[in-house]
Amino acid sequence: MGLYDKVKTWIGESPQWLGGDDRLLLIIFGALVGCCSGLAAVALNFSLHAMEGFFSSYRFHWYFFVLPGMGAALSSLFLEKIIQEGAGHGVPEVVYSVSRHGGLLRMRSMFSRLVSSSLTIGSGGSAGPEAPVVMSGSAIGSNIARFFSLNERQRIALVGCGSAGAVAGVFNAPIAGLVFTIEVIVGEWTALNIVPIAVASVAGAQISRLLQGNQIPFTHLHFDVDISTTLAAAGLAIITAAGCILLTRAIRKSHHVSGKVPVPLWVRAAIGGCIVGLVGLFLPQVLGEGYSVIQKMVEGSFTGGFALVLMLMLAKIAATSVTLGWGGSGGIFAPCLVVGSFSGLMYYRGIDALWPGLLQVNEGCFALLGMAGMIGGMLQAPLTAIFLIVEITGGYETILPLILVSVISTTVCHYFEPASFYFRDLIEKGYYLRPRTDAKVLADLRISELVEKDCISVPKNMSLGEFVKVVQQSRRNYFPVIDEITGAFAGMIHLDDIRPYLFDTLLHDTVFLEQIMTTDVETVDIDDDLSEVLSRMDVSGSFSMPVVTNQRFVGMVSKATLLDKYRKELMLQTTD
């Protein structure tokens, strides 16, 4: 073993030289991963600004609408042909990886989404840079863990560190980074996770501050929040929830429709981009991440009327659903913020038109509350929404209506869309497994780990007399019967099956197993999901089942062995 491998092994086995506790190791790695993902976030910000600056001079030409199409097409070509990475929104893939594969992510994911989302968003596509940077940060964490051969639990913590550092870096919002990661990515509040993820958040935000300055994304006027504002926030939550449901369904519908268009993926992305570009010719506010529009609304300087705001909100929803549904690369964070601020502004102006003077606070406050409602509803993560908006606006004085709008919007959304935008597909396919749950423990156990192989197989032409001798040597009640010519599984014999013949010795030489075995036996395959097998056992009322693969008997799987392994796995997963 070379020096290089020795160092890796030494670090990988660090809990031994750290007295069996890996917390310090995770803190050190958390800081490293946080710095790297913070750098990724800054790089994405710089590239987006550079591209927006480059394309800004073309925005006033009639042919501008092709630019988002070109950007989306290049983005799709980059992902599909150069990087060869199946495109997705980013966050669901990270959650899937944490749920199913212990946080293993491909190395190419460290940079692929940064480039593709720069092309999509920088050219005018309506999407956000946050999900791509979360993907990138998480992949950085995963690959650092892989490099040092860390275990699964440590790797998941580092994936969380990458995500937290990325969100903290891109928004200069360390608490939001921490809360988003715990609430959405990792899914469990344990000290073991929180400490390194918090450190990574700090590191990511600090890198962002060093390279971009300590600025909050949206400065605002001072808001005097009174009880009428807080109560009105409850009504806004209904509007934002409606916006969330509309956006979620529009993206899914758009994806569904685009899937039916028989053209290559990059052509599909180009078509979607051109449609967005056409919308942008008339309503340029819907293009790109849209932070400049939010800034105006939060400052209270957006001059458009109620109808224009409503139109912009619907246009932004349409543009985002077409961008993401037709193959552009990006996330939904930024579009949610834009749609949320439009809905907040629209709600404020509606109230003000109906009951002039009722709301004393500046309309920018409602733009801010709208953002919280939209993020809370879309992600179904109210804490993330609250802390994100507080941090990116510096508006702690709005905390009471913020909490209210976030939780009500989340609740209403949950009623119509039981899973968040990120989780819906995963839950539908059975991929989403929260840590320390029954489903997660069962998913981590395989039939091959549970197979009991001490069964004695008997040929089907064996006489009862010979079988009785076999029974004497065995402690089992079940005996698999096999075809002696093909080796295929033929059936099972239970001790109860031979009881009627057992004491009649005359039958011992005249009865053969083929005549008394049960052929109608329910079997399981070695690759079956354990939860599926358990359901089948419950339905049939059986305590054990034979495992048969390719017509060959492999062994038995029983509830007793399962309980034993289940307890061990549960202890492993719940020990901090």
Partner 1 sequence: MQMFHVFRNTPYGRETLLQTAYFCKKMDITPVVYIPAYAKFLLYMENDVIQVDLDESYLHSPETAKAHVNAVMAELEMAPPRFFAPRHFSTPSLPDVPVSFNFMTCPKTISDLSAKRGSGSIGPRIRRIFKAAAFPVMIPPPVYKPFTRIAVMFGGSANAANAMRLAVRLHRLSGMPVSLYTAEEGRRGKKYYEKLLGKHALTGVFEQTVSDWQIFPQKDFIDNLYKVPHDALVIMGAYGHGLIRQLLFGSTLEIIQSTLPNSLLIVGPNYRGTM
Give the binding site for partner 1 (CB under 8 A).
Answer: 84-88, 93, 96-97, 100-101, 104-106, 108, 146, 149, 429, 431, 446, 448, 486, 526-527, 529, 549-552
Residues contacting 82, CB < 8 A, separation 6+: none
Query: Which residues are paired to 494 by β-bridges?
Result: 478
Q: Give the whole-angstrom CA distance, residue 178 versus residue 200.
A: 8
By C-alpha distance, which of 431, 99, 535, 481 is closest to 562? 535
Query: By C-beta, is 306 or 431 nearer to partner 1?
Result: 431
Q: What is residue 90's three-state secondary structure?
A: coil
- 3-state secondary structure string across 95-144: HHHHHHHCCCCCHHHHCHHHHHHHHHHHCCCCCECHHHHHHHHHHHHHHH
Query: By C-beta, is 4 or 62 nearer to partner 1?
Result: 4
Minimum CB separation of residue 351 from partner 1 in Å reads 43
Query: By C-beta, is 79 or 173 nearer to partner 1?
Result: 79
Minimum CB separation of residue 145 from partner 1 in Å reads 8
Q: What is residue 272's three-state secondary structure?
A: helix
Amino acid at 492: M
Minimum CB separation of residue 423 from partner 1 in Å reads 15
Other CB atoms within a 10 A radius of the CB of residue 1 amount to 7
Amino acid at 134: V
Query: By C-beta, is 153 or 220 nearer to partner 1?
Result: 153
Give the position of tokens 């929104």.
89
Minimum CB separation of residue 139 from partner 1 in Å reads 10
Q: What is residue 381's three-state secondary structure?
A: coil
Question: How is residue 103 written in tokens?
Answer: 């946080």
Residues contacting 128, CB < 8 A, separation 6+: 121, 289, 330, 331, 332, 333, 334, 335, 336, 337
Minimum CB separation of residue 92 from partner 1 in Å reads 9
Minimum CB separation of residue 474 from partner 1 in Å reads 24
Query: By C-beta, is 14 or 410 nearer to partner 1?
Result: 14
Minimum CB separation of residue 84 from partner 1 in Å reads 5
Question: How is residue 52 written in tokens?
Answer: 């927006």
Minimum CB separation of residue 146 from partner 1 in Å reads 6
Q: Give the whole-angstrom CA distance, residue 398 versus residue 384.
A: 15
Q: Are strands 489-494 and 478-482 parallel, antiparallel or unpaired?
A: antiparallel
Minimum CB separation of residue 234 from partner 1 in Å reads 39
- Within 324-433, strands assigned E span none
Report whether 530 contacts 446 (CB < 8 A). yes
Query: By C-beta, is 373 or 555 nearer to partner 1?
Result: 555
Q: Give the whole-angstrom CA distance, residue 192 versus residue 169.
A: 22
Q: Give the whole-angstrom CA distance, residue 361 versus residue 298.
A: 12
DSSP label at residue 524: B
Question: How is residue 544 written in tokens?
Answer: 């054990």
Minimum CB separation of residue 150 from partner 1 in Å reads 8
Minimum CB separation of residue 426 from partner 1 in Å reads 11
Report whether 45 contacts 170 (CB < 8 A). yes
Amino acid at 164: A
Question: How is residue 410 written in tokens?
Answer: 């989340």
Query: By C-beta, is 466 or 529 nearer to partner 1?
Result: 529
Query: By C-beta, is 455 or 516 nearer to partner 1?
Result: 455
In total, the chain counts a number of residues equal to 576
Minimum CB separation of residue 372 from partner 1 in Å reads 30
Q: What is the CA angle 280-349-298, rounded to 5?
A: 65
Minimum CB separation of residue 483 from partner 1 in Å reads 12
Query: By C-beta, is 520 or 527 nearer to partner 1?
Result: 527
Q: Is the dihedral of CA 189, 191, 197, 199 positive or negative?
A: positive
Query: By C-beta, is 27 or 445 nearer to partner 1?
Result: 445
Q: Give the whole-angstrom CA distance, residue 237 versus residue 15.
A: 47
Query: By C-beta, is 485 or 539 nearer to partner 1?
Result: 485
Query: By C-beta, is 84 or 519 nearer to partner 1?
Result: 84
Query: By C-beta, is 73 or 202 nearer to partner 1?
Result: 73
Distances (CA, A) of 383 to 278, 393, 459: 37, 16, 63
Minimum CB separation of residue 534 from partner 1 in Å reads 17
Q: What is the CA angle 330-210-216, rounded to 5?
A: 60
Query: By C-beta, is 454 or 527 nearer to partner 1?
Result: 527
Report whether 310 contacts 346 (CB < 8 A). yes
Give CA 333 to chain center in angstroms: 14
